[in-house]
Amino acid sequence: MTENTHTTAPDMANNPPLIDVTANPFTLFDAWMKDAEQTEPSDPNAMVLATSTPDGHPSARIVLLKGADQRGFVFYTNQHSRKGDELAENPNVALLFHWKSLRRQIRIEGAVTPVTSEEADIYFASRSRMSRLGAIASDQSRPLEDRSIFEARLKEAEVRYGEGDIPRPANWSGYRVTPVAFEFWQERPYRLHDRARWTPDENGWSVTRLYP
């Protein structure tokens, strides 16, 4: 019996629309994020943050996007954490959003700059009380001999601040990624994916559609 190797042509009528290469990348990002907020079961603002170690090794983790506008993309962390140490050495980063329900990805490349103290204060105050206490109690990324040590520090912070204001630690703040490149990716059947890359030029942004 001979194997049938005939492959039918893709049904293009059922494909998602092509990426709009006439769009401003920030506007397109906003539209895709709004779609994700309607479809993702949790944390549509989750993104991979890729940094590098001082000796050039890649380093990646998932963080949450907490602000996005024409100035860039904001996340917050303990600046004495591993990612904070790496950003102090090399401010160049990559971000990756992946929305499985939509079969979409966005890659963003750029460099970080610190947010203002006012921005950090406003966001810190918006966090839950326990999250703020945790930021004070945790030496993020540092070795922890026993979990009970951290829990004792958390309890001590609860007692110290009671029902009063919880000040933002000086080493807890945010970073804004200013993009130098966007790449939008939309899955299509048979791995015939749609991709487009935006980079700055003298007129604002230049866009190039890419092979799958």
Known catalytic membership, residue 191: yes
| DSSP class per residue in 45-58 | TEEEEEEE-TTS-E
Q: Which amino acid, one-letter code, is at 135?
A: A
CB atoms within 10 A of CB 208: 11
Residue 181's alpha-carbon distances to 51, 129, 167, in angstroms, are 16, 37, 36
User: From the candidates 107, 191, 195, 209, which is the catalytic residue?
Assistant: 191
Q: How many residues does the chain have?
A: 212
CB atoms within 10 A of CB 143: 5
Task: Estimate to the nearest angstrom the gap between the alpha carbon of 119 and the chain centroid.
Answer: 18
| DSSP class per residue in 180-208 | EEEEEEE--GGG--EEEEEEEETTEEEEE
**Where do the DSSP E strands lie in the chain?**
46-52, 58-64, 67-69, 72-78, 92-99, 104-114, 172-186, 194-201, 204-210
- To the nearest 10°, the Cα dihedral for 94, 100, 102, 105? 20
Residues annotated as catalytic (active site), given as ranges: 191
